Amino acid sequence: MNSLFNILLSALIGVVYLKIMSLVFKKSVKYMKQKSRDFLVQILPGWLLIMLSSGCIYWYAPPYLTYYYIMQTIMYTAMIICLIALFLLLVVKPISINKYNRIVLKIKKDYESK
């Protein structure tokens, strides 16, 4: 019975978290489209919010529940995406704007196709 409760609670928390973060991410991208034309600048705040929120949930979650590991995975994935985006913005863009534009166009094409 305890493992069934664990699975149900983890599923509920996961669904609610994904729904809320989906809305927050869309609002963040919509707001940042008004501020910048650069695609990575538009999506970076959303990924930072996902990283911080999943990190907070991971930090306060009891380690015996399943969603502890789900939030840990989401946090590390968002962290890697943020690091790659920052690397592209801070290192690749000043060195070679053409390579940066090609990479961003590929990312944007994949993002918009979903």
- pLDDT tens digits, residue range 55-114? 998 888 887 778 888 889 999 999 999 999 999 999 999 999 999 999 999 988 888 886
**CA distance to 5, 63, 82, per residue, from 47 (Å):** 30, 24, 6
What was the pLDDT predicted at 43?
Answer: 93
For 20, how many CA atoms within 13 A lie in the half-sphere containing its CB? 10
| Distance from C-alpha of 14 to C-alpha of 106, rounded to nearest angstrom | 29
Amino acid, single-letter form, for residue 88: L
pLDDT in tens, 30-63: 999 999 999 999 999 999 999 999 999 888 888 7
How many whole angstroms separate alpha carbon 60 and alpha carbon 17?
Answer: 15
Q: How far apart are CA 21 and CA 97, in angstroms?
A: 31
Q: How far apart are CA 33 and CA 73, in angstroms?
A: 28
